Amino acid sequence: MANLTYKDAGVDTKEGARAVDLMKENVKATFSENVLTGLGSFGSLYKLPGGMKEPVLVSGTDGVGTKLKVAFMMDRHDTVGIDCVAMCVNDVLCQGATPLFFLDYIATGKVTAEKIADIVKGVADGCLQGNSALVGGETAEMPGFYGEGEYDMAGFSVGIVDKDKMITGAKIEEGNVIIGLPSSGIHSNGYSLVRKLLFEQMGYGVDTMVEGLDEPLGEALLRPTRIYAKQCAAVVPNFDIKGICHITGGGFYENVPRVLPEGIAASFKKGTWDIPPIFSVIQRDGEITETEMFSTFNMGIGMMMFVAAEDRDAVMDALRGAGEDPKIIGEAVHSDTDKVIIHE
């Protein structure tokens, strides 16, 4: 019997080490003075900032989902890391937390150093957008588990907030204004439906110029999820933000109720924000009802903030100062039945 090696079994540790070498500059660019370890330590050390009476750690974990299939089709891997960070950091922001650090996990059938470095470059870019240090991660080579050229990825984010400044939605009340922060498109949810419709049923490719879009379909689908850390940093410390909602899988109908107290509904007025054209394409080609669209997708709103009516203008100005284009999209109303109302 031959003397087998780990490489013979499909795991090339030297290629993994080369991937780490290629990614290290992008990773180091995310470090702050609170990062106490470099790449390669068994555990990542991060010094908590001071100045809080009762600090609470806020954590979130998520992945990119089947949007990765679009990256495989386009052989473009330097943006899905942004999606991974966004899905975690945006959730942490909803509790009023300041992001601190992020870790990633990438699993693939065969490590290609350049591809892994591209993926991690996206993660590092997302961490810079999300004010997070990329303190560690794991690349798992799992031969026979993933198809050729395929991989999966997930992330883990940690933030911090003073206990008396946590945002839970409990203070949302009738008359509060809902401010919407635009999405860049589909973000990272609903891609199982999107792929089945556009690629399988309609027969489009990533290079197809679909009626209603001014760019190839793949470009519209792969556009990274927006990260709202800078926008939250501009308003959360300075205003009484009643609630923050990240619109992910389940769209308006599943996510908005997560922050609403008993007896309060969110009433949205259609036409108060722009819906990216990719959603019109999906609805048209799939003959999908409006209710299903708002139950599956973000429909152009990636994050919502609930604020008192008297704070509306000041919060809007602060968001604009952070480079945002906020929209007044609705208000909190009394309701003992519905939680989400979408009207003309």
pLDDT tens-digit map of 167-216? 999 999 999 999 999 999 999 999 999 999 999 999 999 999 999 999 99
pLDDT the model gives residue 3:
76
Q: Do residues 160 and 182 share a domain?
A: no
List pLDDT tens digits, range 295-305: 999 999 999 99
Q: Do residues 331 and 184 share a domain?
A: yes
pLDDT the model gives residue 2:
61
pLDDT the model gives residue 7:
81
Q: Which of 6-15, 32-41, 63-72 has the highest mean pLDDT?
A: 63-72
Residue 295: both structure tokens together: 């139950």
Residue 170 lies in a domain: no
Residue 5 lies in a domain: no
Q: Do residues 25 and 113 share a domain?
A: yes
Residue 257 lies in a domain: yes
Give yes or no for a contact between 195 and 74, defined as CB atoms under 8 angstroms apart: no
Q: Do residues 113 and 33 share a domain?
A: yes
pLDDT score of 264 more than 90: yes
pLDDT the model gives residue 156:
96
Residue 8 lies in a domain: no
List the CATH number of the domain containing 285. Answer: 3.90.650.10
Q: Do residues 56 and 125 share a domain?
A: yes
DSSP H/E element including 282? helix 277-286
Residue 73 lies in a domain: yes
CA quadruple 234, 48, 134, 183: dihedral sign: negative
CA quadruple 10, 61, 22, 133: dihedral sign: negative
Residue with tokens 């009484």: 240
Residue 4 lies in a domain: no
Residue 93 lies in a domain: yes
Q: Do residues 183 and 331 share a domain?
A: yes
Over range 313-322, report the average pLDDT: 98
Q: Do residues 41 and 136 share a domain?
A: yes
List the CATH number of the domain containing 94. Answer: 3.30.1330.10
pLDDT score of 40 more than 90: no
Q: Do residues 22 and 98 share a domain?
A: yes
Give percent of the chain above pLDDT 90. Answer: 90
> Among residues 140, 165, 190, which one ends one of the domains?
165
Q: In total, how many domains does the chain have?
A: 2
Q: Do residues 74 and 143 share a domain?
A: yes
Query: Which runs of E-coded beta strand occur in 109-200?
Result: 133-141, 151-162, 177-182
pLDDT the model gives residue 20:
85
* Domain hosting residue 257, numbered range: 177-343
Q: Do residues 107 and 198 share a domain?
A: no
Q: How far apart are CA 270 and CA 282, in angstroms?
A: 18
Task: Give the predicted TM-score (pTM) of the model.
Answer: 0.95
Q: Do residues 187 and 130 share a domain?
A: no
List pLDDT tens digits, range 105-143: 999 999 999 999 999 999 999 999 999 999 999 999 999
> Among residues 95, 130, 165, which one ends one of the domains?
165
> Among residues 101, 134, 165, which one ends one of the domains?
165
Residue 88 lies in a domain: yes
Give yes or no for a contact between 251 and 297, defined as CB atoms under 8 angstroms apart: yes
pLDDT score of 238 more than 90: yes
pLDDT the model gives residue 74:
97
Q: Do residues 194 and 101 share a domain?
A: no
